Amino acid sequence: MSVLNDPFIDRLERARSGAKRLATATTASKDAALEAIAVGIEQAIPGIVAANAEDLRRGRENGLDAGLLDRLLLDETRLRGLAAAVREVIALPDPVGQVVRGSTLANGIRISQVRVPFGVIGAIYEARPNVTVDIAALSLKSGNGVVLRGGSAAESSNAVLVDVIQRAVTSVGLDGDAVQTIDEFGREGASRLMRARGYVDVLIPRGSAGLISTVVQESTVPVIETGAGIVHVFVDASADEEMAAAIVRNAKTHRPSVCNAAETLLVHRDAAERLLPRLAADLIAAGVTLNGDEAARGFSEEILPAGEAEWSTEHLALVMGVRVVDSLDEALAHIERYSTRHTESIVTQDYANAERFLAEVDSAAVMVNASTRFTDGGEFGFGAEVGISTQKLHARGPMGLPELTSTKWLVRGSGQIR
Amino acid sequence: MSVLNDPFIDRLERARSGAKRLATATTASKDAALEAIAVGIEQAIPGIVAANAEDLRRGRENGLDAGLLDRLLLDETRLRGLAAAVREVIALPDPVGQVVRGSTLANGIRISQVRVPFGVIGAIYEARPNVTVDIAALSLKSGNGVVLRGGSAAESSNAVLVDVIQRAVTSVGLDGDAVQTIDEFGREGASRLMRARGYVDVLIPRGSAGLISTVVQESTVPVIETGAGIVHVFVDASADEEMAAAIVRNAKTHRPSVCNAAETLLVHRDAAERLLPRLAADLIAAGVTLNGDEAARGFSEEILPAGEAEWSTEHLALVMGVRVVDSLDEALAHIERYSTRHTESIVTQDYANAERFLAEVDSAAVMVNASTRFTDGGEFGFGAEVGISTQKLHARGPMGLPELTSTKWLVRGSGQIR
């Protein structure tokens, strides 16, 4: 099939052309589009729920487990929540046009670096139709078109949602084509999206470590990794007992299924006798299964033996590894070896150790005396949850709307030459 | 061969371990290393010239053309220039540790985003031993280790230069292993470097469009593209004659071999009769071969016919395409289609057209009434020439030392939990 008649390429070209109009749209018109999307979702609840029922039925037939079916489910409450989330994006500042820096050169040329949209964002995620709306809203506000690949499990829900979004965007005089879904092109569509240089400016995978790894390996389009979190809490020799207990419990149990939840507890040998029995008892009382090394198990009979795989496992559940280390150096070496560079926290009263930990741990967020759960765009005051980048290029840590933009240099002269 | 005995992996691990020490080194010690490198190069001139002679002899045997042999050549003058360039890097501000932003959250947690080195930079370039020194100096100053793949044509020169650099870094108490060459691993080494996730944090290719395209296609390590420039100058209907003549001539002829030199001249139909004969005559007098569309050729008999390939060719030589367009819209459409998104400039007296051009052209640098030659780190006041990024992720346009860093969030609490 020639490129001219290729329906997949046609989809990408529509996104590109819709994005071009969006790139120079005013904040007021983009906000109007978002409000129209929120209203559109509320008005289309019966239709969306019906389409979602098809996905759920197919999911049950295909033997999806209860957790996946729950992630797939859209009911009236969740849809009203989604509409509310879209309205929250309206309240965020528009990053487009922000001047990052600028100066006047000696020859009188004025240069300024301003934020501009990427162009078209590709989003690859799995069976979460709410992400369709989230990513579309964040892309629109930042002036970007978006090509959505939400996976076949949510295909019917995504189709209706994208239709609602396209109509809403068009209704305010912008180009609804800026938002596209490629679910019906299946796995081949996902593969082609990863190689769609020239059509898509950046790919953002959201989902399992396996999905993200596939995208990173296969993609020729630049990728922003929003990665897995093997997150460590290190309880230093001088740690305060109550503070350590509160931080460890919160980091592990507050919301165990998310990437900033702690997976491994490291305890300094000099604090183990004083603190480990209490920390272990608290965690176990909160329903956590502990897998520990031999030294840790010496302080609590309820800690199960840990295999080597424990230290590189992201449980995302009420399971935690526990290890006793001889020193700050040993803790740093363990983190260096096993961390996914998301978030690590030290609990300590020792100033020098706190500063060494902050300086030497190479993670997106490095904390002293705080729960790892604070690595979050909302907590950091960014107001939107684009994801948490675990890569070092472009964005690292919680991403706000500015991280969905690039910049360009505007150069205003009066005839200067070199 | 097992990973443990793999000399290639050993090289990467040395770079990584050397980089770790460098990441927390003081500016003073990094500057001392740079001064030691400059002195080391000056003292090793006879040895470097001898090694370079081997490369030149092999190059001649392999039939390298005069241009490539000239790029390969290192003589005493060039080596003293290289040492001086290293000393210029000493004068640049150290980006590591700079606080990008920070705040105190409502709960009392203090967050700050600080610049940190990437870790290890991979550099892939072709037959230019001076790049070995440039990239090593910039990497060291920004706290990064670096793995250099400079190509087999410059293998002997690069080996001596890297030895000089390693000794110099070690002599001031840092770890010389932070700088590594993998030239002797040949093409397979380059391929492995592109897939060395976990060892290398970012790859920067410098060289031909073909080299950059290969790296982008094959690499699983994030890449910063420093790309080709199909750069346009658009002479609008209202352009001032002298200004247009000066800018067009400067953009094309000041240094035709570099990426910010103009390749295509677009002239508004309403200005063509007034300006094109003069512009064409000036360019031809300066030795430029002009290839034009039919309309352009109607204004000057000396313009040769242009094929369709003209508009997508980066000549990097005294050759230029000329096209007459009916409107600003047609100019924007031509640029949208053929530009490599490096730099474009409009020459105009019309305020609205200037602002539309600035807003709608999607390039790293967009100019009004200035020569495209100003897209340059030195001209922008960055002081160092890391390259000019033509991608939208992480860095766009001229890159300074800060673009060789990532950031991390430091989070200082006093026991906060969610």
Taking the C-alpha atoms of residue B266 and residue A4, their distance in angstroms, rounded to an integer, is 28
The alpha carbon dihedral of A203, A206, A207, A209 has a sign of: positive
| Cross-chain Cβ contact A375/B409 below 8 Å | yes
The position carrying tokens 């490539």 is B68
| Cross-chain Cβ contact A417/B246 below 8 Å | yes
Tokens of B9: 């992996």
Angle in degrees, CA B135, B56, B86, rounded to 5: 25
| Cβ of residue B369 closer than 8 Å to a chain A Cβ | yes
Min Cα distance A299 → chain B (Å) is 24
Taking the C-alpha atoms of residue B155 and residue B297, their distance in angstroms, rounded to an integer, is 48
Q: Is domain B231-374 annotated with CATH 3.40.309.10?
A: yes
Q: In chain A, which residues have their Cβ closer than 8 Å to the Cβ of B335?
A: none
| Cβ of residue A348 closer than 8 Å to a chain B Cβ | no
Taking the C-alpha atoms of residue A366 and residue A341, their distance in angstroms, rounded to an integer, is 9
The position carrying tokens 């935690």 is A320
3-state secondary structure of B305: strand
Of A364, A407, A410, the CB nearest to B396: A407
Say yes or no: do domains A8-227 and A231-374 share a fold.
no
pLDDT at B1: 44
| Cβ of residue B101 closer than 8 Å to a chain A Cβ | no
Are B96 and B117 within 8 A, CB to CB? Answer: yes
Strand locations in A294-382, DSSP E? 304-305, 319-325, 343-347, 365-370
pLDDT at B387: 85
Backbone angles phi, psi at B386, to 5 degrees: -80, -25
Are B384 and B394 within 8 A, CB to CB? Answer: no
Per residue in A222-273, pLDDT (tens digit) is: 999 887 899 999 999 999 999 999 999 999 999 998 899 999 999 999 999 9
Inter-chain CB pairs, A–B, below 8 Å: 201
The alpha carbon dihedral of A15, A20, A24, A26 has a sign of: negative
What mean pLDDT is reported for chain B? 95
| Cβ of residue B393 closer than 8 Å to a chain A Cβ | yes
Q: In chain B, which residues have their Cβ closer than 8 Å to the Cβ of A368?
A: 411-413
| Cross-chain Cβ contact B247/A417 below 8 Å | yes
| Contacts (Cβ under 8 Å, ≥6 apart) of A215 | A124, A194, A203, A205, A223
Are B224 and B399 within 8 A, CB to CB? Answer: yes
The position carrying tokens 């879904």 is A181
Taking the C-alpha atoms of residue B65 and residue B151, their distance in angstroms, rounded to an integer, is 16
| Cross-chain Cβ contact A24/B371 below 8 Å | no
Residue A57: is its pLDDT beyond 70?
yes
Of B224, B365, B392, the CB nearest to A409: B365
A 179-238 → B contacts, CB under 8 A: 197, 201-202, 216-217, 220, 222-224
Min Cα distance A195 → chain B (Å) is 9
To test the contact with chain A by mutation, choose from B406, B407, B414 the residue with the greatest count of A C-beta atoms within 10 A, namely B406
Q: In chain B, which residues have their Cβ closer than 8 Å to the Cβ of A407?
A: 396-397
Min Cα distance A265 → chain B (Å) is 16
Taking the C-alpha atoms of residue B9 and residue B11, their distance in angstroms, rounded to an integer, is 5
To test the contact with chain A by mutation, choose from B120, B224, B371, B392 the residue with the greatest count of A C-beta atoms within 10 A, namely B392
Q: In chain A, which residues have their Cβ closer than 8 Å to the Cβ of B247?
A: 415, 417
Min Cα distance B411 → chain A (Å) is 4
Taking the C-alpha atoms of residue B296 and residue B320, their distance in angstroms, rounded to an integer, is 12
Residue A94: is its pLDDT beyond 90?
yes
| Cβ of residue B52 closer than 8 Å to a chain A Cβ | no
Other CB atoms within 10 A of residue A295 CB: 16
Of B220, B393, B411, the CB nearest to A365: B411
Strand locations in A59-212, DSSP E? 99-104, 110-117, 120-125, 145-149, 179-181, 202-206
Taking the C-alpha atoms of residue B163 and residue B155, their distance in angstroms, rounded to an integer, is 12
Q: How many helices, marked H, and strands, marked E, lie in chain B?
A: 14, 16
Taking the C-alpha atoms of residue B368 and residue A110, their distance in angstroms, rounded to an integer, is 10
Phi-psi region at A363: left, alpha or beta (left = phi > 0; alpha = psi -120 to 50):
beta
Spans of chain B below 50 pLDDT = 1-2
SS3 content of chain B, % helix, strand, coil (to 5): 50, 20, 30
Full DSSP string of B128-151: -HHHHHHHHHHHHHTT-EEEEE--
| Cβ of residue A257 closer than 8 Å to a chain B Cβ | no
Selection from B322, B355, B253, B364 nearest residue A417 by Cα: B253
| Cβ of residue A416 closer than 8 Å to a chain B Cβ | yes
Selection from B58, B342, B119, B371 nearest residue B245 by Cα: B371
| Cross-chain Cβ contact B359/A24 below 8 Å | yes
The chain B residue lying nearest A195, using CA atoms, is: B217
Q: In chain A, which residues have their Cβ closer than 8 Å to the Cβ of B359?
A: 24
| Cβ of residue B329 closer than 8 Å to a chain A Cβ | no
- Please state the pTM of the whole predicted model: 0.91
Are A223 and B197 within 8 A, CB to CB? Answer: no
Bridge partners (DSSP) of residue B223 are B203
- CATH T-level topology, domain B3-224+400-411: Aldehyde Dehydrogenase; Chain A, domain 1 (3.40.605)
Rg (CA), chain A: 24
| Contacts (Cβ under 8 Å, ≥6 apart) of A81 | none
Residue A1: is its pLDDT beyond 60?
no
Tokens of A262: 């702690």
Per residue in A301-351, pLDDT (tens digit) is: 999 999 999 999 999 999 999 999 999 999 999 999 999 999 999 999 999
| Domain residue spans of chain B | 3-224+400-411, 231-374
Q: Is domain A8-227 annotated with CATH 1.10.1030.10?
A: no
What mean pLDDT is reported for chain A? 95
The chain B residue lying nearest A360, using CA atoms, is: B24
Min Cα distance A326 → chain B (Å) is 22
